[in-house]
Amino acid sequence: MVSSSTMQQPPICHPTTTARWWSKDSIAIVTGANKGIGYALVKRFAELGLTVVLTSRDQSRGLKAVDSLKVLGLDRNVYFCQLDISDQASIRSFVSWFRSRFDAFDILVNNAAVCFNAMNSNSMDHAETVVKTNYYGSKLLTEAILPLSRPSNSAASITRILNISSRLGTLDKLKNTKIKAILEDKERLSEDRIDMVVGVFLQDVKDGSWERQGWPEIWTDYSVSKLALNAYSCVLARRYEGVVSVNCFCPGFTQTAMTDGQGKHSADDAAEMAATLALLPVSRLTTGKFYAGSTTRGMHSKL
């Protein structure tokens, strides 16, 4: 049974020191994986012996990423498929492709995301695209691929979903008390309520009132998209408790294209932490948690 206890947990174990429940027949899907954390995570999963599906919105970049893994000798169990999570037709095509090649998946890492702001800017010019990709795209892919999750006929076969998120999307960044109250009410939280919150935000952007409505102050559109993803993860965790483990992970300030190469640690460091969470033994497996990662302090749950 997946545990959702909030009791203090001992330190999370490194995947190479835990009981190995996976094999080359275990299938991990990583979205947005032609570079950055996604690529590093595909590499780490391949090193640990899983079969990995690398997806990328841009086909040429995705194939180039696979070629670079070939140089490292890690391409034997890596497959590529083009996937744009903001396009429902692309999601349908991906699910059809996956179904034709695999019986089921064991791990889904929703890593694909966009942000159009530089480090010190906060434009809302692409707010709709950011929300459509980071929240709705991840949600639509998850719902489309879930029927192909591994049947839970043993403790080790519990499907794991890890949503790469951000501290920018935590509730303490939200100053709008009415919206905050809706998202804090875990008993009544639903997809409809989350979609309503997202709709209010996009309307505030459209009419130019977003700055005075108490939305997160840094990378506002990106933060709201992750706020919605975090809330959706809680809904999904409750719906599939005992069958699917659903957690969020903020890798921290990581050196990627999104941060203009700035950060406190590398994409490989972030991938190591993400792999640890995705590969937890069933005795340590949680659901409905938001984990924050640090290479110096380790990982801890904020829920």
Which member of 136, 222, 232, 240 is catalytic? 222
State phi, psi for 116 to the nearest 5 degrees.
-105, 5
Instruction: Please enumerate in sequence order all residues whose Cβ is within 8 A of that of 196, keeping only pairs 6 or more positions apart, or say none.
Output: 182
> CB-based burial of residue 245 (10 Å sphere; 0-12 exposed, 13-18 middle, 19+ buried)?
buried
Instruction: Please enumerate in sequence order all residues whose Cβ is within 8 A of that of 205, keeping only pairs 6 or more positions apart, or say none.
Output: 124, 127, 128, 221
Longest dimension (CA), the chain: 54
Pick from 113, 115, 138, 112: nearest CA to 126: 115
Is 135 catalytic? The answer is no
Q: How far apart (Å, rounded) are the C-alpha atoms in residues 199 and 84? A: 22
What is the rounded radius of gyration, in angstroms, for the C-alpha atoms of the chain? 18
Where does the chain have alpha helices with state H? 36-47, 59-71, 88-101, 127-131, 138-145, 177-184, 191-206, 220-239, 267-278
Pick from 148, 183, 165: nearest CA to 37: 165
Q: How far apart (Å, rounded) are the C-alpha atoms in residues 21 and 13? A: 14
Q: How far apart (Å, rounded) are the C-alpha atoms in residues 118 and 115? A: 8
- List active site positions: 222
